A and B are shown apart, each in its own frame.
Chain A
C-alpha cells in the first residue's frame, strides 16, 4: 500500500467517525464537534494530495487548507453562539426539543 493510500484511508476513517458522531448523538455541541472533525478530515486530503501530487512547489493545497481552517473557525464561533442562544430560550440543547424557530 502506498503512503498516499494510507493517508486517504486515515482521512476517510476520521470522516466516518465524525459522521457517526454527528448522526447518532443528540447533544448539539457534540453534533457541531462531529462536523468540525469532518472538515478536518477533508483538510487531511488536501495535504495528502499536495504532498504526493505532481506539483508540490505550487503550494495550492497548503493555501486551501489555510482558508478552510479560517472558515471552520468562523463556523465554530457562529455555531456555538447559536447553541448558547437556543439554550437561553429553551433551557436545553437537545436537538429533538429545538424543533421550531419561533423563540
Chain B
C-alpha cells in the first residue's frame, strides 16, 4: 500500500508538471518519468512482462519519437518556450477534467468492490503468457502485427518529403 501510494504520487506529480511547463523538451522528459512510474506500478502489481513491455515501448521508443518530433518542428534555432494559451481555454479544460474526475471518484468510492485482498500476487509466467498468445489469442497477435506494419508504412508515407518532379 505504501509503495503504491509513493509510486502514484511520483507518477502524478511528473505528469502534472509535464503539462504545466513551458519548455517542450522538459515536458517530454517528465512524461518519460511518468511512463517509468507506470512501469513501476506494473512491477508492483506482479505483471513483470507488461512492465518490461512498457519500458521498451514507451520509455524507449515512443519517447525517442516524441523528442524527434519536438526537434523537427522547432521554430528556428531558438529554444523559445511555448507560449501559454488563452486563459478561457485553460479554465474550460480544467473544469471539464475536474468534472470527469469528480464523476469517476464518486463512482469508485461509491461502488461495493468485491476484493480478494487475502490472496498473494498472482503469478503468470512468461511461458504461460507466450502459450496464451500463441494459442487462444494467435489471431489477435497476427492482426496486431499487420496493424503495426500498416501504421508504420503509413507514417513513413505521411512524413516523407515529396520531392519536386523533374521537368520532362
Tally chain B residues at the interface, Cβ within 8 Å.
78
Contact of B24 among A7, A26, A30, A76 (CB under 8 A): A30
Contact A59/B132 with A44-B41, A67-B140, A84-B73 known, Cβ cut-off 8 Å: yes
Closest to B136 in A: A63
Residues in A neighbouring B61, C-beta threshold 8 A: 73
Give the distance to chain A from B148, nearest Cβ to Cβ, in Å.
5
Contact with B along A66-87 (1 / 0, CB 8 A): 1101111111111011111101
Give the distance to chain A from B113, nearest Cβ to Cβ, in Å.
5
Q: Is the CB of B159 within 8 A of A62?
A: no
Residues in A neighbouring B38, C-beta threshold 8 A: 14, 40, 43-44
Q: Is the CB of A63 within 8 A of B73?
A: no
Residues in B neighbouring A13, C-beta threshold 8 A: 8, 12, 101
Residues in B neighbouring A73, C-beta threshold 8 A: 57, 61-62, 148
Q: Is the CB of A87 within 8 A of B73?
A: yes
Residues in B neighbouring A80, C-beta threshold 8 A: 65-66, 68-69, 155, 159
Give the distance to chain A from B16, nearest Cβ to Cβ, in Å.
5
Contact A6/B8 with A47-B50, A62-B50 known, Cβ cut-off 8 Å: yes
Q: Is the CB of B158 within 8 A of A10?
A: no
The dominant DSSP class at the B interface is helix
Judge whether B80 is part of the interface by a CB distance below 8 angstroms. Answer: no
Contact A40/B35 with A29-B73, A47-B47, A87-B72 known, Cβ cut-off 8 Å: yes
Closest to B15 in A: A17
Q: Is the CB of A18 within 8 A of B15?
A: yes
Contact A85/B53 with A62-B47, A80-B66 known, Cβ cut-off 8 Å: no
Seen from chain A, the residues whose Cβ lies within 8 Å of a Cβ on chain B are: 2-10, 12-27, 29-30, 33-34, 36-37, 40, 43-44, 47-48, 50-54, 56-57, 59, 62-63, 65-67, 69-78, 80-85, 87-88, 91-93
Contacts A20-B97, A74-B151 given; 16 further ones with Cβ under 8 A?
Answer: A3-B1, A5-B113, A7-B45, A10-B8, A10-B11, A17-B16, A25-B19, A25-B82, A33-B66, A57-B124, A62-B47, A63-B137, A65-B47, A70-B147, A76-B62, A84-B69
Q: List 19 A-B contacts (CB under 8 A).
A: A2-B115, A7-B4, A12-B101, A17-B16, A17-B97, A20-B94, A23-B93, A23-B97, A27-B82, A29-B28, A33-B31, A37-B34, A50-B122, A62-B47, A63-B140, A72-B57, A76-B65, A81-B158, A83-B69
